[in-house]
């Protein structure tokens, strides 16, 4: 029986066929020239300065937990993130299961001056061009759902159009694919996308696979709820943290983000 990740990719393939008929690739490529210059997420993550590096995520809902926020205004959230110390912004653009839209990226690209990650279920070259055409600076590749050559080809295409790929892993086989593809920005997702279960032991275990690979920038994804967790994983070698749910559900997004960066007061967790 198909799991939720398989269902999402299957739905995405059907949706993409419609999109390609309605918006030919030539039109997408023309639109790429209308976007602002790409902002390097790698430079942003490598930049020196005080505070932990948080990639703050705009996510309306998930198939596991439903709606995350009542008052959802992606542009307001993007500005809040940028003003509160996020080093980059991740934006869900998958519509059916996550309530996202490419328009969220387009709007944010005109409103903030930090890198934008298009987070979606990407498997086709069209989607890479589409990511650049909507104003993204970076895009997600989920290693679990791509074979190693497909992953490498999409990553290389991203480079050709000026975009960095965040290669997301969840187990050792994913890591092998990421290394084969030449990933430089490597995410470790603590959430099993087939079940929704989150376990920080995933990062603790997979970090061992990256020993001696000083060229990698490592991103811990999912399951981060406290400043103490960030401090722990920084000590283990993580460079940045992609956080969505904790921020979306926070009573005050700005305060919670500043807590994560280390620039605000630590909030009680009880």
CA pair distance 43, 246, nearest whole angstrom: 26
Which of 109, 131, 145, 189 does the annotation list as catalytic? 189
Those residues with Cβ within 8 angstroms of residue 258's Cβ, 6 or more apart along the chain or in another chain: 84, 85, 264
- Residue that wins the pLDDT comparison between 264 and 128: 128
Active site residue 221: yes
Task: Indicate which CATH number applies to the domain containing 202.
Answer: 3.20.20.70
**Contact (Cβ atoms closer than 8 angstroms) between residue 167 and residue 187:** yes
Q: What is the DSSP secondary-structure string of 180-219? A: HHT-SEEEEE-B-TTT--B-THHHHHHGGGGTT-TT-EEE
Q: Does 167 map to a domain?
A: yes
Which of 94, 106, 130, 221 does the annotation list as catalytic? 221
Active site residue 172: no
Which of 57, 106, 130, 245 does the annotation list as catalytic? 57
Task: Flag whether pLDDT at 153 surpasses 50.
Answer: yes
The pair of structure tokens assigned to 137 is 């600076």
How many CB atoms within 10 Å of residue 26?
9
Q: How is residue 198 annotated by DSSP?
A: B
Which of 90, 145, 190, 222 does the annotation list as catalytic? 222
Q: pLDDT for 161-215, tens place per residue?
A: 999 999 999 999 999 999 999 999 999 999 998 888 999 999 999 999 999 999 9
Active site residue 245: no
Half-sphere exposure of 99 (CA within 13 A, CB side): 16
Q: Does 153 map to a domain?
A: yes
Active site residue 70: no
Number of domains in the chain: 1
Q: Does 58 map to a domain?
A: yes
Q: pLDDT for 126-138, tens place per residue?
A: 999 999 999 999 9
Q: Does 269 map to a domain?
A: no
Q: pLDDT for 215-263, tens place per residue?
A: 999 999 999 999 999 999 999 999 999 999 999 999 999 999 999 999 8
Sign of CA dihedral 144, 161, 62, 56: positive
Active site residue 208: no
Distance, first Cα to last Cα, the chain: 38
Q: Does 268 map to a domain?
A: no
Q: Does 38 map to a domain?
A: yes
Q: pLDDT for 56-114, tens place per residue?
A: 999 999 988 889 988 899 999 999 999 999 999 999 999 999 999 999 999 999 999 99
Q: Does 270 map to a domain?
A: no
pLDDT-derived band at 52, boundaries 50, 70, 90:
very high
For residue 48, report the phi and psi dihedrals to the nearest 5 degrees.
Answer: -75, 160
Q: What is the structure's pLDDT at 195? A: 85
Q: Which of 136, 143, 194 is nearest to 167 (CA)?
A: 143
Q: What is the structure's pLDDT at 188? A: 98
Task: Flag whether pLDDT at 269 surpasses 70.
Answer: no
pLDDT-derived band at 264, boundaries 50, 70, 90:
low
Residue 214's domain comprises: 4-261
Q: What is the structure's pLDDT at 68? A: 92
**Contact (Cβ atoms closer than 8 angstroms) between residue 117 and residue 134:** no
Mean pLDDT of 10-33: 96
Mean pLDDT of 9-19: 95
Which of 52, 53, 109, 119 does the annotation list as catalytic? 119
Q: Does 59 map to a domain?
A: yes
């Amino acid at each position: 029986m198909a799991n939720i990740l398989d269902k999402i990719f299957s739905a995405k393939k059907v949706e993409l066929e419609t999109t390609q008929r309605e918006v030919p690739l030539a039109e997408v490529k023309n639109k790429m020239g209308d976007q602002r210059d790409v902002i390097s997420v790698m430079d942003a993550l490598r930049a020196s300065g005080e505070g932990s590096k948080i990639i703050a995520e705009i996510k309306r809902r998930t198939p596991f937990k439903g709606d995350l926020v009542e008052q959802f205004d992606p542009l307001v959230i993007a500005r809040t993130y940028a003003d509160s110390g996020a080093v980059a912004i991740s934006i869900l653009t998958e519509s059916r299961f996550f309530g996202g839209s490419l328009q969220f990226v387009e709007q944010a690209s005109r409103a903030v001056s930090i890198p934008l990650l298009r987070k979606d279920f990407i498997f086709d070259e069209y989607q890479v061009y589409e990511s650049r055409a909507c104003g993204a600076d970076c895009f997600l590749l989920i290693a679990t759902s791509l074979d190693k050559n497909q992953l490498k080809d999409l990553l290389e295409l991203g480079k050709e159009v000026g975009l960095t790929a965040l290669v997301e892993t969840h187990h050792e086989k994913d890591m092998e694919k990421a290394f084969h593809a030449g990933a430089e920005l490597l995410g470790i997702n603590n959430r099993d996308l087939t079940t929704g279960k989150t376990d920080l032991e995933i990062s603790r275990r997979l970090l061992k696979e990256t020993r001696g690979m000083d060229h990698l920038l490592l991103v811990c994804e999912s399951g981060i709820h406290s400043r103490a967790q960030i401090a722990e994983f920084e000590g283990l070698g993580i460079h940045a943290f992609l956080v969505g749910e904790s921020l979306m559900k926070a009573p005050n997004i700005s305060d919670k983000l500043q807590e994560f960066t280390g620039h605000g007061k630590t909030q009680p967790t009880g």
